[in-house]
Amino acid sequence: MFRVSIVILAVLMLTGCFYQTLYKNLDKLVLNQLEEFVDLNKAQKQWVLDEVQKAQSWHQMHYLSTYLQWHSQLQTDWQSAERAEIYSLSNKVSRHWFEFLQDLEPVMVEFLLSLDALQRVKFIENIKEKMAEQQSIKEREKRTQKRFEKSLGRLSDKQLKIIKKYSESMSYYRQIRNLNNQKRLSEIETILLKNKPSDTDLKRLGLLIVNHPKSRAEYQVKQSEKRVLFQIDFLISLRETLTVKQKQKFEEQLIEVGDILREIQSTEL
């Protein structure tokens, strides 16, 4: 539910026409993002563009209809869904995400292996720098506040207090996630810096990239579940404070999201 809500809030920042243009040019956007971490040669750039286009076509064909089903469920049940129902939807979204990443796993591994020694070092260094750029609790609170103001309009004092408490409490889960990600990156770095990674290394590299729950330690899975349930409780508590005007505004934007998803589904790539 939290992931669905964040996706919806992000989509609402865009008009349908602009989003369609953005979707058509996703390959170039991905390439631009990658080049913030590593300089690629001409052949590597073209390979990235080609592979993103293939993945995008597959994604549009197989997943957009699923997003529309989730959107329909959210549109119907968002005011009344209980904790268990929201958690079930969250698990569906999570499983979809990891299935999609697993589909892309061979491509992502191939990309990393295509980098030469200097590129690999630079790539890892830049990721470490990015991971070190952590926002303060206050900054995250402001960012969360802006997200909900975008979707609901002006927030009440009670709603602002709920967001403040959520931001402060989430810092614990965020620290755990950051530590786990640092450990993952360290393993990825060890494999990539080998002259000839073994088949076992490459299999492990794929698991580390996808980070599927099945490949994690039991305590990590439990912490992740606690984090998701905490996020759901936050959304439910916030939902209970919504005014009639805020509910109407959110419902209007949900309709817009559905229109955008259908437009994306019919976009000719």
SS (H, E, C) 117-139: HHHHHHHHHHHHHHHHCCCCHHH
Report CA-CA distances (Å) from 80 to 83, 85, 91, 123, 155.
10, 10, 18, 46, 21
Give the predicted TM-score (pTM) of the model. Answer: 0.81
CA dist 261 and 267 (Å) reads: 10
The closest alpha carbon to 88, from 112, 65, 70, 107, belongs to 70
Contact present, 60 and 265 (Cβ < 8 Å): yes
Within 10 Å of residue 110's Cβ, how many Cβ atoms? 12
Distance CA 192, CA 200 (A): 13
Could you tell me how many residues make up the chain?
269
Q: Where are the domains positioned within the chain?
A: 2-265
Per-position pLDDT tens, the chain of length 269: 444 443 433 333 334 455 566 777 888 888 999 999 999 999 999 999 999 899 888 888 888 899 899 999 989 999 999 999 999 988 888 888 888 888 889 999 999 999 999 999 999 999 999 888 877 888 888 999 998 998 899 999 999 999 999 998 888 888 888 888 999 999 999 999 998 999 999 999 999 998 877 778 888 888 889 999 999 999 999 999 999 999 999 999 889 888 888 888 888 87
* Cβ contacts of 100 within 8 Å, gap of 6 or more: 59, 63
Q: How far from 154 is each of 159, 162, 242, CA to CA, in Å?
A: 10, 14, 11
* Rg (the chain; Cα; Å): 20
